[in-house]
Amino acid sequence: MGILARMREDIQAAFDHDPAARTTLEVILTYPGLHAIWAHRFSHWLWNHRLKLLGRLVSEFSRWLTGIEIHPGATIGRRLFIDHGMGVVIGETTEIGDDVLIYQGVTLGGTSLKKEKRHPTIEDHVMISAGACVIGPVRIGRGSRIGAGAVVVLDAPPYSTVVGIPGKVIEGQSARQDVLELEHRKLPDPVARAMNQLVDRINRMNVRLAEIEERQDCLEDKLASADGRLSEPSEHPEPPLPDPKER
């Protein structure tokens, strides 16, 4: 595919993912995510043709211009859209598939100091919400959604929803059409869910303990009554035995 065709795809991706987009000229002139992706394609070409310093310089200029840092070694697929984009960081060994949506403040970072695959792999049709961090050589499955502020350090299966710190998979669904729609106000809280389950279990244990204590009290009352009856003097005492000396 030619350069112009790829650029047209990128512009169309902006219209597809951002309802605020109005005209093609506005998108071309005012969308920093689009500028960062175009600059990355050039810096990535330089990087792959052994012009690594020049590629880093282009990447650094793009970072200064857009506020988006994409290492020239990162591999990015078609129709990536970075909405707003300020503070986005994409590391060297990151791999991003097609039709991915990334919001501002997202970090696709690494933890290892070795020269190896140390950044995430993002498969096709993934949405990463604002402020999320995907750390290490993890794989985010096709069609997955990552909630705002999540810190993902483990693999996520396809069509999953990940929230929390550390990120927890709260949904694992079959293929769906609303991959890019994620209503955060409706997302379940896995920590709150676990706490509620713990509270319910404690309440059931308290009810059971109260029943046991009630039965124990009843048993103690019955034993006390029996002891009282045994200790009372008899109304018809037995006659005393005769003294053998009197015989």
- Looking at the structure of the chain, the number of domains it has is 2
Amino acid letter for position 192: A
Same domain, 117 and 194: no
Structural domain includes residue 100 = yes
**C-beta of residue 36 within 8 angstroms of C-beta of residue 85:** yes
The pLDDT assigned to 243 comes to 63
CATH number of the domain that residue 159 is part of: 2.160.10.10
Overall residue count recorded for the chain in this entry = 247
Residue labelled with tokens 């396809």? 158
* Strand 107-109 with 133-135, pairing: parallel
Same domain, 26 and 91: yes
Q: Output the six-digit token pair for 15.
A: 């219209």
Give 25-51 pLDDT, tens digit per residue: 999 999 999 999 999 999 999 999 999
Structural domain includes residue 234 = no
The secondary structure of 58-109, three-state, reads HHHHHHHHHCCEECCCCEECCCCEECCCCCCEECCCCEECCCCEECCCCEEE
Same domain, 149 and 58: yes
The pLDDT assigned to 211 comes to 85
- For the four alpha carbons of 188, 194, 196 and 197, in that order, the dihedral sign comes to positive
The pLDDT assigned to 245 comes to 63
- Domain range for 167: 3-188
The pLDDT assigned to 187 comes to 63
Model pTM above 0.85: no
Low-confidence stretches of the chain (pLDDT < 50) are none
**C-beta of residue 55 within 8 angstroms of C-beta of residue 40:** no
Give 194-238 pLDDT, tens digit per residue: 777 788 888 888 888 888 888 888 887 777 777 666 666 655 556
Element (H, E) at 135: strand 133-135
Same domain, 113 and 206: no
